[in-house]
Structure formats: structure tokens, C-alpha cells
Amino acid sequence: MKFSPKSLKRLLNLYPPYLGAGVKITHISEDWRELHVGMSLRWYNRNAVNTHFGGSLYSMIDPHLMLLLMQILGKEYLVWDKAADIEFIKASKKNVRTVIKITDKNLEDIALMTEEGEKYFPEFMLDVIDEDNELVARVKKTIYVKKKKSREQVPANKLDKAA
């Protein structure tokens, strides 16, 4: 599905799980390579010790890399979230934010590693920081990427069965 960055930002900010977590997308670049997201501490996203709930911290990350890559790579690729690992570094009651970036190198690696139709699992390290630029959490996000086979690459007998 193709969206403009502005319409996706609006849609995500109205998405009920993000509303419930207090997550807000503040920026998506026109080239889909950068997304800024933040979260303020509210009564509904606090944990038992009145700091940011870990699930809300993770929801700041999920599923943005997948969505950005889907827009950049287009319909020629399958893109899925594969795995995530979050390390909570410091509890915080302050506003938190993260910047998600996809670099030229990331895209070159994806193209190279999937050119023959192989699965590729790029990893992205993302930092959640507070308003004092202190590290609150670090997330390692793994994405599944695979280039779809073109119709020319599918054997004729497989195309006949699909018809």
C-alpha cells in the first residue's frame, strides 16, 4: 500500500494502540528514510513505579522500520518484522524520543543480499533517549527482506498451475 509520508504520519498518530501508549510520530521524511517518534509520560503509560512502561517504549519502534522499508523498496520485495531485542538502560519519567534512519548503506546491503531471491535479515540498532539526551533503552530490530521472483523467473509449469 502506498501512502504519502504526511498521510502515514496522520494515520499512525490516530492508530488506537499508539494513542493508548501515548506514542506520537513527529516527522517522516519525504524520501521515507527517517522517522521521528516521541512519547510523553502519562498516567495511562506508566508502569508500577511511575516510569515509562516497557511495552510503550518498544511500541515507539514497532513497526516503523518495516513500514519505511516497504515504502522505499516497493512491491518487488517482501518485508516483515522478524525479531526485536530491547535492553532497558535507565528508568525515566521524562519525554522520550527516537530517530529511525535508513541509510544508503542499508539499502545497498539489502539489494546485494537479496539480488538472487535470498532472504536477508538486516539488523538496526535504535536508541530511545530522554529530553536530557540520556539513554533510556536500546533496541535491536531485525527485519526479514526478500526480493520477490519476477514472472520471468517463475518456471512456466508453475505459471500454468496458477492460472
Alpha carbons within 13 angstroms on the beta-carbon side of residue 26 total: 13
Share of the chain above pLDDT 90, in %: 85
pLDDT for 100: 98
The answer, yes or no, to whether residue 1 has pLDDT greater than 70, is no
Q: How confident is the model at residue 152 (pLDDT cuts 50, 70, 90)?
A: low
Give the Cα separation of 158 and 154 in Å (integer).
7
The answer, yes or no, to whether residue 159 has pLDDT greater than 60, is no
Q: What are 38-86's pLDDT values in tens digits?
A: 999 999 889 999 999 999 999 999 999 999 999 999 999 999 999 999 9
Kindly report the pTM of this predicted structure: 0.87
* φ and ψ of 87, to 5 deg: -115, 120
